[in-house]
Structure 1
Amino acid sequence: MTTPPRRPASFPITAEPEHPVHLDAAPRRPRAISDPSSVREAEHDIFDEPDLVTAPPPPATAKRRRSPLTAIFLSAFGAFVSLALGLWAESIISDLFARTEWLGWLAAGLAGIAALALLAILLREFIALRRLKSMEVFRSRGTAVIANNDTKGARALVQDLSSFLSAKPETAAGRRMLSDLHDDVIDGADLMRLAETELLTPLDQRAQIMILDAAKRVSLVTAVSPRALVDLAYVIFEAGRLIRRIADLYGGRPGTLGFIRIARDVLAHLAVTGTVAFGDSLVHQLVGQGLAARLSARLGEGVVNGMMTARIGLAAMETARPLPFNAVRRPGISDFLAALSTFARARRSEQDGDRT
């Protein structure tokens, strides 16, 4: 007679199994489960855990709304300063008219020219802020269109994005192809992926070249500079120039206020993704410990500073890009590791050659 099949049971990992497995025993044939309802679902599935090394960094969190008291204070203080400057200029012009008439007219003309120049600067800053705002609107619209698969919204967004990037010669071929296929693609998500590939891929390639060049410059300068203060000053200078160049590449063209705004967004993006981008931190540790051990101390520090500059450039790329990464792979810090390592080894070879 055959014995009935043993019912499945669960047991902790640390407990000894009821029937130990012998390596020399023949494999047992699997048996059918008599009562499927008795099978207990695992409480914790290790395969559901996200891969922290390859997981992309999350998008930046929504900005907090400012208090209206801050806006009221800034408006009132700005109006007060404007009145004080106006009264000061009027007093000087009146005194010059009282002394000599032509000096009064000269002062009035200079004040008028300064006022017109200030108005032109404010207008340029306002236009730059509007362009940065439009880039944020593009990203939010693109995310909504892909999520809802909105064909009508995708066509309108592609047309607006093509007009926005019309001054970029790198996007000429992509704009021409999208214009020819405007009515042929009926799926909104597919149209957005096509627009991202054709319009933004050339700009992404140029942005990565800019990031790599800036990282190489930082690596070289910090490797040969004698002072840590010089290193810090040059890293800040190169990071600021890289942020401005990347924003201009994607059509932002920020002014002074626009640069302050996008730099603040880049720092916020780094603050959000810095604690969860485990893959980037791992690469930093590998560079700081492994590569610096094979190179000189100064060259190792230069490579680490170059990787930090590359990370800032990637954050600027993520912030200034008109569309979120969807059809195109998001570049990571590991894309620049091999190039910087080769550059550092070449510098080490040059130093060894000079010593001999």
Structure 2
Amino acid sequence: MSKAPRAIRLDPTAPEGGLGPSVSRGDVAILPESEPIDVVEPAAVAPVKRRWSWGGLFVAGLSGFLALAFGVWAEQTIAWLMSQSSVLGYAALACAAVAALALAVMLGRVIRDILRERKVEALRLRATAALADGSVDAAKAVATQLTALYGARAETAKGRVQIADSLPQLFAARDVLTVAERSLMAPLDALAQAQIAQAARRVSLVTAVSPRALIDIVFVLVACARLLRTIAGIYAGRPGTLGLLRLARQVLGHLVVTGGIAAGDAVIQQVVGQGLAARLSAKLGEGVLNGLLTARIGLAALAVCRPLPFVEAAPPTLGDVAGDLGSWGGKDSGA
């Protein structure tokens, strides 16, 4: 909306508190300029509240019932075998003890994976809150915890030394997290993007040459599961089966929230190139689309597993990890 021309008094002898009402001087009206200054407030970070649900209550109750039923059945089986033969009874008891030990170890690993994932998620939330509040102490605490998280990783040794040398000299939250991102997240991001690009190319190639749609579906599901586990291993450790299911649920929720569950024509034209999709065969176009969807799932997993929000670096896009999926058709068309 256009404004009428104004003149602002620059006379230093003007009284404080403004010029008061408009002063007419010929055909020019001298008005006080009172433009509002747009201040961008940082977005508040809402704490994530975990609430119980009827579905979770049903699963908990059913799991408890099945555990009790299995325990009663095992006890009755061992007692019956013991009444028939002490050798068979002790053999069954030994097998039950080995199975119980293996189950306890598996449950311990599952709990460890879930706690690690929650630790990474809490670290990302604290980093986001530190950026919004500008708290230097909170940012340094996040950087210290991030260094401890990757303390056993050989590829982050140089980055940990850089963070230790730079923290005493930094006095802004964004600077602290930027150094942490450059030192620790940059090599891990490059490795994760390479894995996403490799998985997208593999899915695109296999689904383009496979003769059956069932093979396509099975291969895409297996490739996406492997990709999720690989990205989780890069950032937060290799998850188990239950951890992988929890991660898949988080990735699906991220895709739904960001609206990126499907790649439309605009995305295909941006990544593959305008007019190129029309020259591709139907099967090759299907392979390219499957590769794009795999890359999109990988990017969502990267955003979920990354313990820091993107501070200085730009989030990777489909063009960064799947920009060469249409190179086959591009070379053929250019010949």
1:197 deviation in Å?
1.2
Partner amino acid, structure 1, of 2:78:
I
Kept in 2, the 8 Å contact 1:291–1:300? The answer is: no
Counterpart of 2:150?
165
Counterpart of 2:81?
96
1:309 deviation in Å?
0.9
Could you tell me which of 113, 116, 141 is aligned with 2:101?
116
Larger mean CA deviation between 183-192 and 89-98 belongs to 183-192
CA distance in 1, matches of 2:77, 2:173: 63
1:343 deviation in Å?
4.7
Counterpart of 2:15?
none
Could you tell me which of 291, 316, 321 is aligned with 1:306?
291
Counterpart of 1:292?
277
Kept in 1, the 8 Å contact 2:295–2:322? The answer is: no
1:292 deviation in Å?
2.4
Q: Map residues 1-356 of structure 1 onto 2, 5 A cutoff.
A: 34-35=28-29, 65-67=50-52, 69-274=54-259, 282-286=266-270, 287=272, 290-343=275-328, 345=330
| TM-superposition CA deviations, 1:98-124 (whole Å, max 9, x none) | 111111000000001101110111110
Higher RCO, Cα 8 Å, sep 6+: 1
Relative to the length of structure 2, the TM-score reads 0.81
CA distance in 2, matches of 1:61, 1:282: 33
1:82 deviation in Å?
1.5
Partner amino acid, structure 2, of 1:255:
G
Describe the shift of the 1:297–1:113 C-alpha distance in structure 2 as closer, same or farther (beyond 3 A). same
Kept in 2, the 8 Å contact 1:288–1:304? The answer is: no
1:187 deviation in Å?
1.9
1:334 deviation in Å?
1.7
Partner amino acid, structure 2, of 1:34:
V
Partner amino acid, structure 2, of 1:200:
M
CA distance in 2, matches of 1:234, 1:68: 33
Q: What is the DSSP-based 3-state SS (H/G/I as helix, E as strand, rest coil) of the residue aligned with 1:323? A: coil
Unaligned 5+ segments in structure 1 are: 1-6, 10-31, 42-47, 49-57
Kept in 2, the 8 Å contact 1:150–1:189? The answer is: no
Kept in 2, the 8 Å contact 1:295–1:345? The answer is: no
1:296 deviation in Å?
2.7
The CA RMSD measured in Å over matched residues stands at 3.2
Kept in 1, the 8 Å contact 2:78–2:92? The answer is: yes
1:344 deviation in Å?
5.0
1:252 deviation in Å?
3.5
Q: What is the DSSP-based 3-state SS (H/G/I as helix, E as strand, rest coil) of the residue aligned with 2:169? A: coil
Describe the shift of the 1:170–1:147 C-alpha distance in structure 2 as closer, same or farther (beyond 3 A). same
Relative to the length of structure 1, the TM-score reads 0.77
Q: What is the DSSP-based 3-state SS (H/G/I as helix, E as strand, rest coil) of the residue aligned with 1:331? A: coil
CA distance in 1, matches of 2:49, 2:180: 31
Describe the shift of the 1:110–1:284 C-alpha distance in structure 2 as closer, same or farther (beyond 3 A). same
Describe the shift of the 1:259–1:288 C-alpha distance in structure 2 as closer, same or farther (beyond 3 A). farther
Partner amino acid, structure 1, of 2:266:
L
Describe the shift of the 1:104–1:269 C-alpha distance in structure 2 as closer, same or farther (beyond 3 A). same
Aligned residues: 303
Q: What is the DSSP-based 3-state SS (H/G/I as helix, E as strand, rest coil) of the residue aligned with 1:325? A: coil
Unaligned 5+ segments in structure 2 are: 6-25
